């Protein structure tokens, strides 16, 4: 309890810490203080605008009135006694409606008061649904998916990529665009990598126009300092089995086949994919790591 002195009657009174802002011992002293200060509006009547605001927003004022009433112990005591007698949550008809509402809204039964809650994990959950069996349209494998993915057609990204490549292969315009890009030297991915070489001063030069041949292969980039290092920029449309429109890609044009062919000639090879060239820092880190490696292939 906090000890206080009333500024009107000089009476000593005690209040709880939650009511520490209280200044007067009683409502009588509070009204006496208001009389001494005079009216809050200094005798001026309310304007029409103020009356409209009060009519439009009654909630804040009603809330303040309710807080003032609730601060009185007599009002609080009567209100609590009334609730004990006329509590609607204790009526049977209201409780039935509440339990029906819980079941329809959440799928759970009524709250288990004083009892152990049942296990709702997995198949015990009222909203549980079994997985759906679907056959992949590309490879024919049967796989399971959740009910919300029942319209899935492919079991993996590889199968979806193959199906997409087949559709692109059927479209003549897509094939023309892909074959036309073969005639452009350097290609757009190679031009992007040339910019990265200039920005980071890497010791590589472009040789993809037929300037240099290693065995029967023409590398895209070769080390200018005499090191046996080459870099190939691969496009997924021509070199990746999952995304290519070419059905049977030769082994020497794939990732590991190209590296093995260069290894037979004693060269280290770094292969970069066209979709990674947008991340310049990642590509620069890979080229730096490639330059630091100085092993010899035997």
Q: Is the pLDDT of residue 178 over 70?
A: no
- Mean pLDDT, range 20-46, rounded to an integer: 78
Contacts of 101 (CB under 8 A, 6+ apart): none
Q: Is the pLDDT of residue 200 over 70?
A: yes
Q: Is the pLDDT of residue 258 over 80?
A: yes
Residues 42-90 pLDDT 10s? 666 777 877 776 666 556 666 777 777 788 888 888 888 877 777 777 7
Per-residue HEC secondary structure of 17-81 comes to HHHCCCCCCCHHHHHHHHHHHCCCCCCCCCCHHHHHHHHHCHHHHHHHHHHHHHCCHHHHHHHHH
- Mean pLDDT, range 209-226, rounded to an integer: 85
Helical residues (DSSP H) of 116-264, grouped into ranges: 157-170, 172-183, 188-200, 236-239, 255-264
Return the CATH superfamily for domain 184-292. VSR Endonuclease (3.40.960.10)
Percentage of residues of the chain with pLDDT beyond 70: 80
Please give the backbone phi and psi of residue 94, each rounded to the nearest 5 degrees, phi first: -70, -40
Confidence band (pLDDT; 50, 70, 90) for 244? confident
Q: What is the value of pTM for the model shown?
A: 0.41
pLDDT of amino acid 296: 47
pLDDT of amino acid 148: 86
Asked if 226 contacts 237 with a C-beta cutoff of 8 angstroms, the reply is no
- Mean pLDDT, range 167-175, rounded to an integer: 66
Higher confidence at residue 155 or residue 82? 155
């Amino acid at each position: 309890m906090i000890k206080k002195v009333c500024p009107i009657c000089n009476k000593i009174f005690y209040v709880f810490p939650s009511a520490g802002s209280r200044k007067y011992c009683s409502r009588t002293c509070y009204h006496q203080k208001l009389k001494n200060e005079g009216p809050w509006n200094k005798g001026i009547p309310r304007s029409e605008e103020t009356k409209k605001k009060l009519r439009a927003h009654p909630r804040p004022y009603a809330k303040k009135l309710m807080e003032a009433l609730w601060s009185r112990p007599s009002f609080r005591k009567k209100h609590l006694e009334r609730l004990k007698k006329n509590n609607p949550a204790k009526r049977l008809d209201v409780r039935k409606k509440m339990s029906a509402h819980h079941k329809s809204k959440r799928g759970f039964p009524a709250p288990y008061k004083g009892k152990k809650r049942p296990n709702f994990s997995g198949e015990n959950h009222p909203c549980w649904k079994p997985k759906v069996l679907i056959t992949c349209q590309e490879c024919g494998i049967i796989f399971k998916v959740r009910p919300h993915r029942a319209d899935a057609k492919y079991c993996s990204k590889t199968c979806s990529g193959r199906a997409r490549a087949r559709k692109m292969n059927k479209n003549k315009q897509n094939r023309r665009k892909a074959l036309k890009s073969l005639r452009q030297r350097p290609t757009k991915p190679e031009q992007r990598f040339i910019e990265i070489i200039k920005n980071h001063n890497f010791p590589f030069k472009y040789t993809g126009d037929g300037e240099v041949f290693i065995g029967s292969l023409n590398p895209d980039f070769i080390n200018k300092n005499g090191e046996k290092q080459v870099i190939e920029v691969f496009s997924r449309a021509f070199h990746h089995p999952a995304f290519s429109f070419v059905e049977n890609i030769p082994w020497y044009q794939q990732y590991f086949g190209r590296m093995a062919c260069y290894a037979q000639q004693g060269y280290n090879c770094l292969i970069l994919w066209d979709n990674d060239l947008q991340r310049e820092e990642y590509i620069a880190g890979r080229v730096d790591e490639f330059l630091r490696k100085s092993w010899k292939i035997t």
